[in-house]
Amino acid sequence: MARLAYGDENSSPAVRALANQIRKERDGRMLNLYSMLLNAPPVAEGWLALFTAIRQQCTLRGDYRELVILRVALLNGASYEYQVHVPFALREGVTQAQLDTLDRWQDSAVLTPAQRAVLAYTDSMTRDIHVPDAVFEGLRGHFNQREIVELTATIGGYNLVSRFLEALAVDPESAHG
């Protein structure tokens, strides 16, 4: 059960407009994450802008983005984040076999060298914060500067998401809304 009450999207005309914008940019849905964020409308607005940019405006391929999100969720024990993103990953071309090996990706034959480089970077950023030069250099043969910046923002951003979800015990979608 969530540690705080979910925000009231009808609390003011400004919050109602923000809720409508969230639904517009999130396939008509109001996820529990965003319902919680409505308690702090300026944060919800900034969050929406950041994650709309990451998910919809970046050049980084969607399969890399979703592998990162799922790996961050696994590392941080964020089941809500993981459950929400599995369907996105499958739509972006991540296979079920690749999903099944995310907890032991280092030994996986179903991942490409670029996917393994992305996952090594994700693990370093999430677990250690300081990324070894060798891990960073592993990205250079697969990604240009813009993609590396987008990848870095995605990893950092979804670490924020998992920490927010877990700290406030945001309910799975089936439990609220």
CA–CA distance from 89 to each of 70, 78, 176 (Å)?
8, 16, 23
Give the rounded distance of the alpha carbon of 7 from its chain centre. 21
- Please give the pLDDT value at position 26: 87
- Please give the pLDDT value at position 27: 84
Using one digit for the tens of pLDDT, what is the confidence trace for 71-123? 999 999 999 999 999 999 999 999 999 999 999 999 899 999 999 999 999 99
- Please give the pLDDT value at position 2: 97
- Please give the pLDDT value at position 175: 55
Distance CA 34, CA 22 (A): 8
For the chain, domain boundaries: 1-57, 62-167
DSSP code of 28? T
Distance CA 111, CA 124 (A): 18
Distance CA 120, CA 33 (A): 27
Q: What is the pTM of this model?
A: 0.94
Check the CA dihedral 74-131-163-156 and report its sign: negative
Tens place of pLDDT for every residue, the chain, 177 residues? 999 999 999 999 999 999 999 999 888 999 999 999 999 999 999 999 999 999 999 999 999 999 999 999 999 999 999 999 999 999 999 999 999 999 999 989 999 999 999 999 999 999 999 999 999 999 999 999 999 999 999 999 999 999 999 999 999 987 554
What CATH number belongs to 62-167? 1.20.1290.10
